[in-house]
């Protein structure tokens, strides 16, 4: 199986690539088959470090290549929580998602042998800030910037259906792993004993372990490839979140317990707004997003608590 991944060098893309090539241990995976694939990362920098087993393709090469892929995975995009949301940053966040997606659309339109699936990234930000209201794939949204960026990305990815390619939209929550992502950014302050809850601490955090993210993606790919053409859905939405969301207060305590450090500090809401501006909504406004579609498929989460997610070994 040949797979093209945009954003392959990122936190999730690297883990997914390792598993697809048989290097990542994800026990309790639904498939009984040995998964192995030829992986190509779509990148702007073909000189970047990468595993020897992974090939690199530039966006310029994509314009003319005759190479074909069974599955395309679209994860490229600047980190939404990496910097304060200035007008310039907002534009970058939007374009860093839409431009790679458009390049993939152009490739899919041009190539005769179409991929069997486009799995395209998004985030639970699509739902907007809705507090502790229970949300699933059928829920509506609140129109804020987080929604707008996700909606634009999803709408563009969905255009591949006009070329006969089904789309799986993956709305991801906070991805938890002890050596990367959000946890890596929190380790230093928590280890120093200055970690603590954000605002009231009552806001709900929708999260998923890195291993479960990878396992869920593989399940979707396998399910799609095993369907008959008449059974294929054009666009399907998946929430990649644990069925057990937690409050920020609960998350803070579990992270402190894992590190054996106190969590007595509190960053008040007014200070978070002063520090991060509009982006503070990601920290102080909760979302209770449940993975109904995955559960309906029979997916079994390996990590249903933050503690379990923090104990991942791979």
Q: Which of 45, 53, 46, 42 is nearest to 75 (CA)?
A: 42
Facing residues of 83 across strands? none
CA dihedral angle for residue 11, residue 84, residue 143, residue 131, rounded to 10 degrees: 80
Pairwise CA distance, residues 239 & 257, whole Å: 28
87 exposed, middle or buried (CB, 10 Å; 0-12, 13-18, 19+)?
exposed
Residue by residue, pLDDT tens for the chain (314 residues) are 899 999 999 999 999 999 998 854 444 444 434 457 899 999 998 888 888 889 999 999 999 999 999 999 999 999 998 889 999 999 999 999 999 999 999 999 999 999 999 999 999 999 999 999 999 999 999 999 999 999 999 999 999 999 999 999 999 999 999 888 888 888 888 888 888 899 999 999 999 999 999 999 999 999 888 876 655 669 999 999 999 999 999 999 999 999 999 888 888 998 888 888 988 888 889 899 999 999 999 999 999 999 999 987 66
- pTM for the model: 0.92
Q: What is the 3-state secondary structure (H, E, C) of 7-29?
A: CCCCHHHHHHHHHHCCCCCCCCC
């Amino acid at each position: 199986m040949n797979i093209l991944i945009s954003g392959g060098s990122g936190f999730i893309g690297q883990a997914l690539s390792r598993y697809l090539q048989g290097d990542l241990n994800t026990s309790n995976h639904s498939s009984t088959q040995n998964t192995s694939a030829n992986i190509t990362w779509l990148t702007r920098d073909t000189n970047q470090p990468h595993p020897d087993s992974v090939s690199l393709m530039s966006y310029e090469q994509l314009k003319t290549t005759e190479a074909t892929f069974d599955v395309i995975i679209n994860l490229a995009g600047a980190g939404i929580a990496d910097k304060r949301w200035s007008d310039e940053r907002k534009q970058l966040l939007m374009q860093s998602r839409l431009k790679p997606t458009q390049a993939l659309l152009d490739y899919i339109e041009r190539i005769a042998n179409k991929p069997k699936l486009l799995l395209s990234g998004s985030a639970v930000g699509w739902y907007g800030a809705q507090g502790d209201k229970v949300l699933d794939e059928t829920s509506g949204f609140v129109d804020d910037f987080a929604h707008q960026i996700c909606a634009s990305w999803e709408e563009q990815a969905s255009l591949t259906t006009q070329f006969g390619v089904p789309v799986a939209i993956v709305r991801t929550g906070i991805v938890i792993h002890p050596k990367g992502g959000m946890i890596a950014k929190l380790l230093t302050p928590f280890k120093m004993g200055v970690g603590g809850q954000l605002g009231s601490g009552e806001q709900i955090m929708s999260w998923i372990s890195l291993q479960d993210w990878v396992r869920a993606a593989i399940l979707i790919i396998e399910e799609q490839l095993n369907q008959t053409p008449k059974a294929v859905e054009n666009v399907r939405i998946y929430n990649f979140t644990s069925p057990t969301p937690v409050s920020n207060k609960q998350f803070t305590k579990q992270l402190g317990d894992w590190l054996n450090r106190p969590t007595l500090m509190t960053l008040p809401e007014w200070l978070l707004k002063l520090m991060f501006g509009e982006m503070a909504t990601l920290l102080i406004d909760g979302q209770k997003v449940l993975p109904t579609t995955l559960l309906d498929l029979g997916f079994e989460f390996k990590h249903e608590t933050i503690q379990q997610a923090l104990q991942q070994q791979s």
